[in-house]
Amino acid sequence: MKRKTAGIAGLLLVSLLLPAAPVSAGTAVWSAETIPTVENNFLGPAGVDIRDLAVAPDHTTVYAVPGDSISDNVVYKSVDAGVTWLAIDVDISADLVAIAPDDKNMVAIASRGTPAVYLTTDGGTTWSNLGTPQESGGNPAAAITDIAISELESSIRLIAAAGKEAGDIANLWYFNSGAPVPVWNQTNDMAGFSAGDEVSAVAFSPSFSSDEVLLAVTEDDGVGVKLQILDTSAGKWNASSIYTDYPLTVVSNAGITGSSSASLSLAPTYDASNDATHRIFIGLTVEGNASAVATSGIYRFVDTTILQLSGNVKIHSLDFNGSYLVAGRYDSTVVHRSTDPLSTTPTVSTTASYKTPGGVNKVRVVWAGSQVMAGTAGNESAFAVSSDSGATFNDISLVDTVMTFIRDVAVAVDNSKIYLVTDDGSDLSLWRKTSTWQRVLSLTGTTNYIVRIARQDANSVYLAKKSATTIYYSSNGGTTQWLSRTCGVSVQDLAVESAGIAYALSSGGSVSRTANAGSTWGTVTPTSLSSGATIVSVSTGTLLVGSQDGRVAYSTDGNTSWNVIPVVIEDGAGKVQVAPDEQYATNKTIYAASDTAGQNIKKWKIGTSMEWTDVFTGTVSGGIYGLAAYNNTLYALAYSAASGQSTLWLHLSPTTATATSTSWSSSTTTSTTDADDATVSLNAAPRGLIASTGKLWAVKTNGINKLYSFTDVAIKITLLSPAADFVSHANSYSGLANDIAFTWQRPVPATEYQLLIAGDEGFSSILGDVTVASGEDKVVVLAGPNQSGNRQASFSPGQTYYWKVRTTQPLYSAYSDTMKFSIGPLAAAVPQLLVPANGGNGLSRTPSFSWRPVASTTEYQFMLSDNATMTSPMIDVRLPGPAYAVTEALDYGGTYFWRVRATRPAMTDWSILANFTVAGEPAAPVPPLTVQTAPPPVIELPAPPPQKIITIAPAPQPPPPAVPGYLVTAIIIGVILVAAVALLIFVPRPGRLIPSPSAMVRPLRRPSRKARDLGGRLGRLGEDLATRAGKVAHLQRFLGTPPPSGTPETADEGRSLSFAAKSFLWLMTSGEKKGLSAEEEQNLGKKLASRIKAIAKEHLLYEKFPGDAPLFLQLWARYGSREETGRYIAESLRARPEYVNALLRSYLNVKVAGKAGKSGFTRARYDALAEVADPNSVAEAIIRLYKPELGRLKEDLSGESPDRITAYQFLRLHRRA
């Protein structure tokens, strides 16, 4: 189809050089997407049926014939398994087609009612007219019911035509193609033929080149149905040849008056000469009385034993591939299937609901390798394919439908799947495109549906009928399953949060939620809006709803409750389109506009705004039918009824947009945009605009409906390095990754960029967010573990990372393509053994061992054994360092083996196995000379008086306090110093070693001032060290004891926690940190935060402990997680807005440095609260509780309650912040 595109405002560079003109995001392109059409016969001619199918042995060449369902005499040929078709003109209206089992180019076609057979041997390029089957001198065929082609045998190939002569005389003819004089031969005059009214089906033996037989199903009115066998080499039927048990009775019923359809399939291994291979399946649709019709079904012969697999089922066709059996119905599009057709009691099942081939009836099935192909007849008929042995089908071509109306579209975020809803005013089709289009659902007699998918799971599809409660759901993109659901409300719009969670909006403004993919729907919850137009899922539990009269409501608890924004977006506004900002999670910004022409696009910040803010310069000429915020761009789709054209407006960085913004650009359709219509109405309801990666999508609803896409090709950033799949190797000694130089080509006229580095392709785990200004042609940014600030990124060995770039000045662009790189894994190092040397002799019986340390290793395993197999080792220990000393003596002369490996943080392989030998036992020593001396005098001292022993009951054994070793040392030194000073003060210095008696009775002298000052300072030092040791010991004991199980004693636990927190604060804030290392600070802080978090689960901190709550929250946020404290406060305020009073009162107790006397909720207290929670959540709770008016925040609030005054003070600060 010829396409033309409409451009937008000029060249980017020109726009930037002309400040009076709007800044363009680049050239945007509208184009009509390729959808199912009559091109390549994806959509067939109106009314087309598939009367017969034949598949070549290559399983990709397929022929289909439409009979007289269309006016043209054609044969359809596909060389890609039915995806596309070529219509080949022929001279007859072909109803039957057959292909040679060993030559894909030999094909026969036949007409039923006006019997004629044509043959091609070159794949349809030329056709030979074989005429009406008739033997010379015999009767011509009056009707042909089936045709078949044999294998080549001695340069002859037979073409069989089953049917009847005039007067309902059964006959079967075959044409001996390749014979010197090929002619038709009739067979009903051959010996052994059992006469009847019709030969209904025929099949050549798969072993025809050796057994030369064909089998036929014949029908005899008032008698029944038989299976007969013809020996073509002998020219004899059944028992007249060597097949004594034939003919075989299939059905015996006097009520039979004819056969509407019959089919015959032989096992691929069938050989007439081998009874063990005789596996034959027959499908029947019988005419006659009720008992006769009931004999319709599926039959199996194992040699001559018959079994009915399915009864009273009208079968149009069947095919057996040697393992599985499929059979198409005559009276519907259901396909029967058996995965054990050769078992004693086969099971037969049918296609899944809503997954039959499209159409009404007469299903022709045939195996094509592992796939089953099917063709149908009637309204919405199609060529369909099954990839699960006939359990489910999808229509892929020759579909008999018209896309009169395109109702809706849904697109996967990554553009990998597109779903399109169409109907012809009577019947619905849901199409899905991955690489090619398929119809995954066909519903007759129903129209006007919308389609929605889960944003993170494009296989979860919801199809809802507008203004009704009917919903269809599939968890696999409609490939194999559809479930019919009944919604809790009549659907105006539908929003999908996840695979199983969806919300339905009624036109009356109420919402119903399902958490099980529509199986059940929850309570219908009014939004308090007077009507409903659109509903959008923002994130888990967060929803936005636009009304039909200019209002917006939101829910943050999954439809449990709703908040209505009290201000209408604009007077006279109609059906509202609403969209969240891409960064809604942090900025709470939403955008809204309505379908009323001549209005504006608005912005609102939930929890902060008091009125809607214009973000569009002037007014929009048409109404807005779609809004989407994506890739830091706001898109608004407008349609003007006056001009009949559509305009897409876009603004990069919409959070900064105002009523005077000049950064809007646009693309408007024109009379040349569409090849078929002069106007392009992109105004599908309820939502006309869908966003995906790099594209916007909209449905053209006027004239010839089409699917359009919009591609913003603004600034193209070319990434240079690290190139795709680049691998950087880590430092094998330090274990750290090296820094990476990120480079890209500068797109003129960019001057500033944002570089994002993430640990996942979805960029949900950001490692680096770098803003860099550069005017260089090639921009280089160094980032990694050795950089500082926002350029520091903790790359880990063995991990893959992703990066992308966009411009931020002079305007924001779309992100570049994503590239990835990897940090190579650390080489698997093993310890190198040093001492003793491998093979060493004469070693000590208590040797010492050492080895070279492995980088970053914190634990080793040392093993010593007296055997080389290292079984039952003598020593097997874990060590913190690279050395070990044996303490128990080894045997003299013994040989020993040892090895080492690193075990933490990662286990390495063992080192080499080293050995050594201990020195032999020394010779007996010469007896030593014994010298006896006189014993020393013994001095006996009197025993000291007995001490009074006081027994104290032992206290419960807490875990030993982890007092840092250096504190213990400091305390001991302090005690020694105090003792020394005391000696200096109170004990006179002797003049000699042994003082004289007079000196010993001399009175003590008064200590000097210098000694007294030194003693005082050392005494205070000792007290300070003792106090510090006591506080640290208390903290260790408290934090080392698990919190009480069950319901804690709140007062005791609160006092203990308060003392512990204040002790920790004393250690951290009194002058220096009193000796705590950074590691100890973090260790104690994290334990304290964990204890605070535990008690917070039982009690609301700022209600139960108002005096200590700010300190508790501050420690929890600093040493635990600010995200946790923020969520803790936000969830409590969301559940009970009145809790905001207790929260603010607790912060009135915070002492502000330098402003001890200042009362009220000051900026310092606001900042303290902001360190542990998002002020937006506090402001939102205040607004919900007090519903303040903007002007009241500036009035004198005397006479109001203290809580309201505090709350309004907070709001004033919040607005300034």
In order, the DSSP letters of 1117-1164 are HHHT-HHHHHHHHHHHHHH-TTHHHHHHHHHHTPPPTT-TT--SS-HH
Q: Tell me what pLDDT residue 1030 has.
A: 53
What's the pLDDT tens digit per position in 1128-1145?
999 999 888 999 899 999
Q: Tell me what pLDDT residue 155 has.
A: 93
Confidence at 1158, pLDDT banded by 50, 70, 90: low
Q: Is 965 a residue whose pLDDT tops 70? A: no
What's the pLDDT tens digit per position in 425-458?
999 999 999 999 999 999 999 999 999 999 989 9
**Region 347-375 average pLDDT:** 97
* Token pair of 926 as six digits: 């010469």
Q: What is the dihedral of CA 386, 392, 397, 401, to 10 degrees?
A: 170
pLDDT higher for 41 or 1026? 41
Single out the residue of 630, 667, 627 nearest to residue 652, CA to CA: 630
Beta-carbon contacts of residue 213 (< 8 Å; ≥ 6 apart): 204, 205, 229, 230, 231, 232, 272
* Token pair of 301 as six digits: 């012969």
pLDDT higher for 1186 or 474? 474
Give domain limits for the chain: 718-824, 833-918, 963-985+1007-1099, 1102-1217
CB atoms within 10 A of CB 1163: 14
Q: Tell me what pLDDT residue 979 has.
A: 42
Comparing 291-305, 382-396, 959-973, the range with the smallest average pLDDT is 959-973
Confidence at 1008, pLDDT banded by 50, 70, 90: very low
In the chain, % of residues over pLDDT 70 = 83
pLDDT higher for 1056 or 125? 125
Beta-carbon contacts of residue 113 (< 8 Å; ≥ 6 apart): 95, 143
CB atoms within 10 A of CB 718: 12
Q: Are 323 and 340 in contact (CB under 8 A)?
A: no
Q: Is 202 a residue whose pLDDT tops 90? A: yes
Q: Is 1054 a residue whose pLDDT tops 90? A: no
- Return the HEC string of 23-74: CCCCCEEEEECCCCCCHHHCECCCCCCCCEEEECCCCCCEEEECCCCCCCCE
Q: Tell me what pLDDT residue 1134 has.
A: 87
End-to-end CA distance of the chain: 56
**Residue showing tokens 């993109």:** 477
pLDDT higher for 632 or 817? 817
**Region 735-763 average pLDDT:** 88
**Region 790-801 average pLDDT:** 89
Single out the residue of 59, 110, 44, 40 nearest to residue 383, CA to CA: 44
Class of domain 718-824: mainly beta
**Region 665-678 average pLDDT:** 92
Q: Measured between alpha carbons, how far is 108 from 128 in angstroms, rounded to an integer? A: 9
Q: Tell me what pLDDT residue 815 has.
A: 83
**Region 240-259 average pLDDT:** 97
CB atoms within 10 A of CB 520: 12
By CB atoms closer than 10 A (0-12, 13-18, 19+), residue 384 is: buried
State the DSSP string of 386-439: ESSTTS--EEEESB-----EEEEEEE-TTSS-EEEEEESSS-EEEEEESSSEEE
**Residue showing tokens 């109001």:** 1200
Q: Is 63 a residue whose pLDDT tops 80? A: yes
Confidence at 639, pLDDT banded by 50, 70, 90: very high
Comparing 10-19, 63-72, 231-240, the range with the smallest average pLDDT is 10-19
Determine the angle formed by the axes of helices 1109-1119 and 1078-1096, rounding to 10 degrees: 120
What's the pLDDT tens digit per position in 1059-1087?
888 877 777 765 444 456 778 888 888 88
Q: Are 1027 and 1066 in contact (CB under 8 A)?
A: no
Pick the CATH number of 833-918 from 3.30.2230.10, 3.40.50.720, 3.40.630.30, 2.60.40.10: 2.60.40.10
pLDDT higher for 810 or 615? 615
Q: Are 385 and 399 in contact (CB under 8 A)?
A: no
Comparing 658-667, 684-693, 987-996, 1183-1192, the range with the smallest average pLDDT is 987-996
What's the pLDDT tens digit per position in 146-197?
999 999 999 999 999 999 999 999 999 999 999 999 999 999 999 999 999 9
Q: Is 937 a residue whose pLDDT tops 50? A: no
Q: Measured between alpha carbons, how far is 989 from 1001 in angstroms, rounded to an integer? A: 14
* Token pair of 937 as six digits: 């005098």
Query: pTM of the full predicted structure?
Result: 0.62
**Region 924-928 average pLDDT:** 56
Q: Are 398 and 48 in contact (CB under 8 A)?
A: yes
Comparing 256-270, 735-749, 1136-1150, 1191-1205, the range with the smallest average pLDDT is 1191-1205
Mean pLDDT of the chain: 86
What's the pLDDT tens digit per position in 693-746?
889 999 999 999 999 999 864 567 899 999 988 998 777 556 678 899 999 998
Q: Measured between alpha carbons, how far is 966 from 361 in angstroms, rounded to an integer? A: 90
Q: How many CA atoms lie within 13 A of 981 on its CB side?
A: 19
